[in-house]
């Protein structure tokens, strides 16, 4: 008998709290959600990287002395460098004959030397 009474009391308390929470969460018709009030009409679309068959990233190389500078090796777009944490990228491999890159890394003794591997050939740039 006591178990049934405790169970009934627990259910009543649980339903009461649920109903109160639902009343508090209802918003008036004039109140907007935070994302509904944001206006992005001043922003425009822009390309961030290569457009041929972009999207396949092969490797990253980060500068240990500057976290905002890193290099991105792409499978079909060469090597790209950013100095502002990815806001803009600069292609640094356009003058080479092949643009398919598998690996990119920084020289551990000199972060100004970047090594990458393409088609079984190792190349460096300074």
Residue 25 confidence (pLDDT) above 60: no
Closest CA to 116 of 48, 60, 51: 60
The residue among 75 and 126 whose pLDDT is bigger is 75
Residue 61 confidence (pLDDT) above 90: yes
- Length of the chain equals 126
3-14 pLDDT, tens digit per residue, is 665 555 555 555
The answer to whether 112 and 125 are in contact (CB under 8 A) is no
Residue 88 tokens, joined: 């803009």
Judge: domain 57-125, CATH 2.40.10: yes
Q: Strands 78-82 and 90-91, how do they pair?
A: antiparallel
Q: How far apart are the first and last CA of the chain?
A: 84
Residue 69 confidence (pLDDT) above 90: yes
pLDDT band at 72 (very low <50, low <70, confident <90, very high): very high
Residue 37 confidence (pLDDT) above 80: no
pLDDT at 35: 65
The answer to whether 80 and 91 are in contact (CB under 8 A) is yes
Residue 94 tokens, joined: 């356009």
């Amino acid at each position: 008998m006591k178990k049934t009474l405790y169970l009934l009391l627990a259910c009543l308390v649980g339903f009461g709290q649920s109903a109160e929470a639902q009343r508090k969460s209802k918003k008036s018709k004039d109140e907007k959600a935070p994302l509904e009030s944001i206006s992005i009409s001043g922003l425009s679309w822009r390309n961030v990287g290569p457009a041929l068959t972009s999207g396949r990233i092969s490797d990253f190389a980060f500068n240990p002395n500057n976290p905002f500078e890193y290099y991105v090796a792409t499978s079909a777009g060469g090597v790209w460098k950013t100095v502002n944490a990815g806001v803009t990228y600069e292609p640094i491999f356009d003058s080479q004959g092949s643009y398919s890159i598998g690996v990119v890394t920084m020289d551990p003794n000199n972060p100004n030397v970047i090594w990458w591997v393409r088609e079984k050939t190792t190349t460096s740039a300074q």
